[in-house]
Amino acid sequence: MARIGVFICHCGENISATVDCAKVAEAAAKFPGVVHSIDYKYMCSDPGQTLVGNAIKEHNLTGVVVSACSPRMHEPTFRRACAEAGLNPYQCEMANLREHCSWVHERNEKTDDKAIDLVRMLVEKVKRNNALQPIKVPVTKTALVIGGGVAGIQAALDIANAGHKVIMVEREPSIGGHMSQLSETFPTLDCSQCILTPRMVEVAQNPNIKLYTYAEIESVEGFVGNFIVKIRKKAKSIDESKCNGCGLCTTKCPNKKNPNEFELGMAKRPAIYVPFPQAVPNIPVIDKTQCTYYKTGKCKICEKVCQANAIQFDQQDEIIEVPVGAIAICTGFDIKKTDFFPEYGYGKHKDIIDGLQFERLASASGPTAGEIRRPSDGQVPKKIVFVACAGSRDPAKGIEYCSKICCMYTAKHAILYKHKVHDGTAYIFYMDIRAAGKNYDEFTRRAIEEDDAKYIRGRVSKIYERDGKLIVVGADTLMGAQTVEIEADMVVLATAGVANQGAEKLAQILHVSYDQHKFFSEAHPKLKPVETNTAGIYLAGACQSPKDIPESVAAASGVAGKISCLFSNSELTREPLIAVVDRLAPPQYSSCTGCFMCQSVCPYNAIEREEIKDRNGNLVKQLAFINPGLCQGCGTCVAVCKSKSIDIEGYTNSQMYSEVDALLNF
């Protein structure tokens, strides 16, 4: 006989302000099978949990319904509390009175009725819950780090230094990410490459890290502790084991007029190339779309000059399958290009550039060797305008959020410009200066006070060309919104930070959620900022939202800490909410008829054929068998089973039907 306890939480006033908790508790006490029903201010607090525990012992409860917040929030809390009091944790259910009731409805009778219905539904369900034991699964102590920017590098090094194996996959021919393109970093103005490249080398040399560059994730299967990842290693047309990085092939390649991606199109590169001089690994790649040999069948000069015989024109993409226990997504971000802005000329003015292009101009290793020169004619600009919030915080452009890093890098750009062009003037159009962070506000003050950056509060409505100058038309809202016109030599747009191209596809491969801007979503914005909703998959850096370097590095170390915690166990416990095929006494053995519809719909290949044989070894029956290690508990097999032989723990047919039944007295 079921003995159910119902516990109604006020959640301070979050629930009790809208729902009459005492009335709900009173109504629940009359449900069949309910022997104990109370309401309390904070169920999740320590005394609240003790209340549940004591009631379990005192009333000898067989099931508990906590009616509080979303089970996605506190189900583990109350299941633990039940387990401590000696009740099987899977005999505890939560009715969602906060997110699905009190927060979304007005205070009235109907809301109380709904709360009572929700409790009744869960009471009927919990009566039919089975006592379950968690499943133990082994852990593969290897982490996969996707993306080799500063976040990926930090995560990989931290995990490797904790003694675990790491596989790093980078899409580009070299690791380094956007940070390797930067000239200096705020707020210290230390050289970006000087602090990053040693870490890149460390990644290449760490014996615990296996690096795959020019590679992408093809597929991911499995679950926390036991993922199987397929990596597509794109053909570099170079034998990496033979190449010694001498670079002769890149200097001799006759096809040198290809746009250089690393320099954002402001320089050219050969068809066989190393993205930048400090690339890790220092191994060139042949761009098949540009190489003369691939296009015409003639050339092969690189092959002739290569002393190491490393050129392999017939190299094919390679698929590598690796088992990993955890995955860190560190794929970073991208920025909107200047062609996104009709009002700023759709990117057709060569001297309107984006922030990243300015970084390359300011970088000693950039196309102008660190001199600020106009891309159009190579002149040094004497008047330069920086436009902050280009695209960001602009709902009309579909980007409502603040890109966060632009205020700081624009201040940095103004300082760098002044350090290089002493007689020049930098104007900055801004909406607000958002310089929250250690030494950040001091840095923007320095741009204004020491380096004479002219900050103008207002937006730029239009930029057009007149006599070789760019006319920037904006408003100065601090001067009574008067129109300002500046004849500039060059304009730098601090364009919005956006999700990396391919983020959506990767999210779909990994089955992690992403927001409307294609940034990956964290499991909880405050308490689980580096986890995703999929166990064993973590997020670091700007793939989550625009972030600066210290934040990305901190998140990456956080991920490394999480993964190291995961790897500190030899076994993981998994929720036992998986599908099972019923078993009956011979000669039926099971109600399963062996149609194997379930096998064809299972996304995890978890359903196998089990053969029942008699003592002479003759085949009596074929049944579906569900591998508990592979089943993830989606329940698709349950819905397709014609003979209703499969059931899924936690969401059994009897539970779901009784829930629906319980609802319909309303």
Partner 1 sequence: MSEFEPKIVAFVCNWCTYAGADLTGTSRIKYSSNVRIVRFPCTGRIDYMLLTKAFAGGADGIIVSGCHPNDCHYTSGNFYARRRWMVFRRLCDFMGIDTRRIIFSWVSAAEGAKWAQIVNSANEEFKKLGPYENYHKLSTQEIFE
Residues that bind partner 1 (CB under 8 A): 70-73, 96, 98-101, 103-106, 108, 110-111, 114, 117-118, 121, 507-508, 511, 513, 515-516, 521, 533-534, 577, 601, 603-604, 632-636, 638-640, 648, 650-651, 653, 656-657, 659-661, 663-666
List the one residue out of 375, 376, 380, 430 whose CA is nearest residue 406: 430
Query: Are residues 303 and 286 in contact, defined by beta-carbon separation less than 8 angstroms?
Result: no
- 99 vs 548, which CB is nearer to partner 1? 99
Nearest distance, CB of residue 104 and partner 1, angstroms: 5
Nearest distance, CB of residue 274 and partner 1, angstroms: 36
Nearest distance, CB of residue 330 and partner 1, angstroms: 21
442 CB neighbour count, 10 Å cutoff = 10
- 301 vs 577, which CB is nearer to partner 1? 577
- 507 vs 624, which CB is nearer to partner 1? 507
Q: How many CA atoms lie within 13 A of 420 on its CB side?
A: 25
For residue 510, what is the enclosing H or E element? helix 503-510
Nearest distance, CB of residue 113 and partner 1, angstroms: 8
Nearest distance, CB of residue 36 and partner 1, angstroms: 24
- 523 vs 556, which CB is nearer to partner 1? 523
Cβ-based burial of 68 (10 A; exposed 0-12, middle 13-18, buried ≥19): buried
Cβ-based burial of 469 (10 A; exposed 0-12, middle 13-18, buried ≥19): middle
Secondary structure of residue 537 in the 3-state scheme: strand
Please give the angle made by the CA atoms of 323, 580 and 118, to the nearest 5 degrees. Answer: 105
Nearest distance, CB of residue 21 and partner 1, angstroms: 16
List the one residue out of 142, 2, 108 whose CA is nearest residue 65: 2
Q: How many CA atoms lie within 13 A of 416 on its CB side?
A: 29
- 313 vs 401, which CB is nearer to partner 1? 401
* β-bridge mates for residue 463, sequence order: 472
Nearest distance, CB of residue 476 and partner 1, angstroms: 36
> What CA–CA distance (Å, rounded) separates 472 from 123?
67
Cβ-based burial of 365 (10 A; exposed 0-12, middle 13-18, buried ≥19): middle
DSSP string, 340-392: G-GGGTTT-STTEEEHHHHHHHHSTTSTTTT----TTT-PPPSEEEEEEEEST
For residue 71, what is the enclosing H or E element? helix 71-84
Secondary structure of residue 650 in the 3-state scheme: coil
- 23 vs 100, which CB is nearer to partner 1? 100
Find the helix packing angle between 109-127 and 21-29, rounded to 10°: 40
> What CA–CA distance (Å, rounded) separates 427 from 74?
52
Please give the angle made by the CA atoms of 79, 92 and 138, to the nearest 5 degrees. Answer: 50
- 104 vs 364, which CB is nearer to partner 1? 104
The amino acid that residue 372 corresponds to is I
For residue 493, what is the enclosing H or E element? strand 490-495
Q: Please give the DSSP secondary-structure letter assigned to residue 556.
A: H
- 463 vs 512, which CB is nearer to partner 1? 512
Nearest distance, CB of residue 68 and partner 1, angstroms: 12
Tokens of 124: 């009927």
- 57 vs 72, which CB is nearer to partner 1? 72
Nearest distance, CB of residue 109 and partner 1, angstroms: 10
- 495 vs 645, which CB is nearer to partner 1? 645
List the one residue out of 593, 659, 606, 658 whose CA is nearest residue 635: 606
Tokens of 160: 């490797």
- 101 vs 150, which CB is nearer to partner 1? 101
For residue 260, what is the enclosing H or E element? none
- 69 vs 493, which CB is nearer to partner 1? 69
Nearest distance, CB of residue 12 and partner 1, angstroms: 15
What is the per-residue burial (b if ≥16 Cβ within 10 Å, else e) of 110-138? ebbebbbbbbbbbbbbbbbbeebeebebe
- 112 vs 170, which CB is nearer to partner 1? 112
- 96 vs 552, which CB is nearer to partner 1? 96
Nearest distance, CB of residue 601 and partner 1, angstroms: 6
Nearest distance, CB of residue 548 and partner 1, angstroms: 24
Nearest distance, CB of residue 73 and partner 1, angstroms: 8
- 318 vs 400, which CB is nearer to partner 1? 400
Contacts of 47 (CB under 8 A, 6+ apart): none
561 CB neighbour count, 10 Å cutoff = 16
Nearest distance, CB of residue 600 and partner 1, angstroms: 10
Nearest distance, CB of residue 508 and partner 1, angstroms: 5
